[in-house]
Amino acid sequence: MSAPSPNREEPKERPRRHVHRKHDTFLGKVGHAGFHFSKHALQLLGILLALVLLVIVASFFVDEPMRRAMEKNINQRLTGYTAHIPDLDFNIFGFAVTLNNVTLSQDANPTPPVALIPRLKASVQWSELLKLKLVSDFKLDQPQIYLNLPQLRKEASDKTPVNKRGWQEAAYAIYPLKINLFQVNDGTFTYIDKDPERPLKLSHVFFRANNIRNIRSKERGYPSPVHAEGIVFGTGRGEIDGHANFLAQPHFGFNTLFSLEQVPLDYFRPMLQRANMSIRNGFLSSHGRIEFAPTIKVARVEDVTIDRVTFDYIHSSPRATESAKKITRAVQKASNKPSLLVRLDQFHVTNSNLGLVNRTKDPPFRLFVSDADLAVTNLSNQFVEGPARATLTGRFMGSGRARASGSYRPEKVGPDLDLEVRVDGVQMAAMNDVWRAYGKFDVVGGIMTVYSQVRIKNGQISGYVKPLFKDVNVYDPKQDAKKPFFKKLYEGLVEGLGDLFENRREDRVATVAKFSGPVGDPNSSVWQILGKTLENAFIRAILPGFEREIEFVPKKR
């Protein structure tokens, strides 16, 4: 057999002819002309489309019966409140229900409603469903929560605990899954005390709390992230950021940071009036941390700054004084309580006017420090935290230079207080209401300086008040020309008191009033104790026994 020639070409392979074949599938066959449905597939698709259309049509007829049943179930579960649901939309595909324009009213005070919710949507929380956790997501859009003083008093007087009033059962009536994600989008919260023109209003509030059911990390003390922010009283801003435990017993707990910026204080005027306090203007900023749980309650405030406020403590009627005593009793009850720690690292009042008003005298009078700058550090309700220290500077009655310094520690039996006060160069004419109230005279000239020390310890108070007067001029023939004769005579005798005590070399009058003894009512506040004690001592020092002194005036002359 001979070998193949090297120049001989191998025969070329003939191209294969492509043959289109049809592939069978569940729905039909796929061929070169496309997809061909089988007869059975077309019948199945028709059935599915019919079912979808049936569900869509049926959902429109389900909404109203569901709305009526839901409203009835909610109101059967609530105690003291009534809900009204005008409109409901049920989404069968998303397993979601949306309530529109829901109102909630307190039965005892139905007008105005406590809440108006334009849109409430409840659905499955799909992100947790992927982890095989079946819980719900509640979202409230632009809710308006409203509360006034009668509604608040009714709520406070209700003997039924909040957790027994059916709120959780009402939520189940809306959606039969436990809430795990709760959101508020652009909400408004309003409280009206006594003045409808000055409501306490939080606006543009955004709130989010997730993992409420604690389904992710049960070993954590506060497993639920919480965040809230909003506008406070129109111009201020507030924010909290932290974690909570909504399942803690006997009540939920939280541990959050908080921040307040430029919150106007004038809105608190109606509430402070019940505590013998008056406030006008002023802005507050503060930062800190609050932890509130069944086993621990801590409020650690890093700083509080109040700017441009006018604040008065008012001594008025016995009824108002009793209100102040109730607050004092509450503060004393909280003092040195082991489970409660309240600490304020720094408190600063700047560019302000701080006063003491006495409305029990005729005429009433106000003592004040203008351009006040008050700094307080380490203020706490726990004795072991050490003493709080405070300094105050300003201008007494708008003229004299004032400076005070002191230390304070809380005790269950009353305050532990040391205080030193010095006031220099006060124009006595600025205090004419005081002279009229206690001595029935006024002055046209004179300079006053006051020194004082006060010590309160173990329910006992001691100290002294030492006023010095210079160039006192009580009677002015031109100013007092229209006054009755005996009024002129009385003021002339009072001026003689200055002559009696006058130090001719220094042209000054000096007296001193010492005091000591029990504090008295342990429920009185520090301000009440100091105000009454200094008032009595000061008056004893500047108006010492008119009748006795007048007897000595002729002998002097």
Most confident of 18-22, 145-149, 248-252, 311-315: 145-149
What contacts 237, CB < 8 A, 6 or more positions away?
229, 230, 231, 259, 260, 261, 262, 263
Sign of the Cα pseudo-torsion (400, 405, 409, 415, in order): negative
Q: Does the pLDDT value for residue 399 go beyond 90?
A: no
Q: When comparing pLDDT for 30 and 548, which is higher? A: 30
For the chain, the domains span 75-264
- Cβ neighbours around 64 below 10 Å, total: 11
Q: Does the pLDDT value for residue 269 go beyond 60?
A: yes
pLDDT at 29: 53
Query: pLDDT category, 72, cuts 50, 70, 90?
Result: very high
Q: When comparing pLDDT for 11 and 415, which is higher? A: 415
Query: pLDDT category, 144, cuts 50, 70, 90?
Result: very high
- Cβ neighbours around 338 below 10 Å, total: 7
Beta-strand relationship, 400-409 and 34-37: unpaired
Query: pLDDT category, 133, cuts 50, 70, 90?
Result: confident
What contacts 370, CB < 8 A, 6 or more positions away?
353, 394, 395, 397, 398
Beta-strand relationship, 340-358 and 297-315: parallel
Query: pLDDT category, 259, cuts 50, 70, 90?
Result: very high
Q: What's the rounded mean pLDDT across residues 324-351? A: 73
Give the integer Cα–Cα distance in Å for 427 and 445: 7
Peptide bond into 250 cis (omega under 30): yes
Cα 232 vs. chain centroid, distance in angstroms? 10
Q: When comparing pLDDT for 536 and 460, which is higher? A: 460
Percent helix, strand, coil in the chain (nearest 5)?
25, 45, 30
Q: What's the rounded mean pLDDT across residues 444-472? A: 84
**Which of 193-197, 421-425, 483-487 bottoms out in mean pLDDT, i.e. has the lowest?**
483-487
pLDDT at 92: 76
Which residue do the tokens 């997501």 mark?
Answer: 137
Decide: helix, strand or coil at residue 67. Answer: helix
Query: pLDDT category, 362, cuts 50, 70, 90?
Result: confident
Query: pLDDT category, 393, cuts 50, 70, 90?
Result: very high
Query: pLDDT category, 174, cuts 50, 70, 90?
Result: confident
Q: How confident is the model over 117-129, as pLDDT tens digits?
A: 999 999 998 888 8
Q: Does the pLDDT value for residue 302 go beyond 70?
A: yes
pLDDT at 374: 95
Q: When comparing pLDDT for 264 and 526, which is higher? A: 264
Percentage of the chain exceeding pLDDT 90: 30
pLDDT at 350: 96
Burial of 534 (0-12, 13-18, 19+ CB in 10 A): buried
Query: pLDDT category, 480, cuts 50, 70, 90?
Result: low
Q: How confident is the model over 5-60, as pLDDT tens digits?
A: 555 555 555 555 555 555 555 545 555 555 555 666 666 666 666 666 655 555 55
Model pTM greater than 0.75?
Answer: no
Which of 217-252 are b and which e, b meaning 16 or more Cβ less than 10 Å from the residue's Cβ?
A: eeeeebbbebebebbbbeebebbbebbbbbebeeeb
Write the DSSP assignment of 125-179 as a string of letters: -HHHHTTT---EEEEEES-EEEEEHHHHHHHHH--S-GGGSSHHHHHHHH-SS-E
Q: Does the pLDDT value for residue 553 go beyond 80?
A: no
- Cβ atoms of 375 and 420 within 8 Å: the answer is no
Q: Does the pLDDT value for residue 445 go beyond 70?
A: yes
Average pLDDT over all residues of the chain? 78
Q: What's the rounded mean pLDDT across residues 278-288? A: 94
DSSP class of residue 313 equals E
Q: What's the rounded mean pLDDT across residues 218-241? A: 89
Query: pLDDT category, 330, cuts 50, 70, 90?
Result: low
Burial of 518 (0-12, 13-18, 19+ CB in 10 A): exposed
Q: When comparing pLDDT for 292 and 49, which is higher? A: 292
Q: Does the pLDDT value for residue 550 go beyond 50?
A: no
Give the integer Cα–Cα distance in Å for 509 and 503: 6
**Which of 65-79, 173-187, 446-460 bottoms out in mean pLDDT, i.e. has the lowest?**
446-460
Give the integer Cα–Cα distance in Å for 472 and 490: 15
Q: When comparing pLDDT for 111 and 22, which is higher? A: 111
- Cβ atoms of 239 and 259 within 8 Å: the answer is yes
Q: Does the pLDDT value for residue 315 go beyond 90?
A: no
Q: How confident is the model over 434-443, as pLDDT tens digits?
A: 888 877 777 8
Query: pLDDT category, 549, cuts 50, 70, 90?
Result: very low
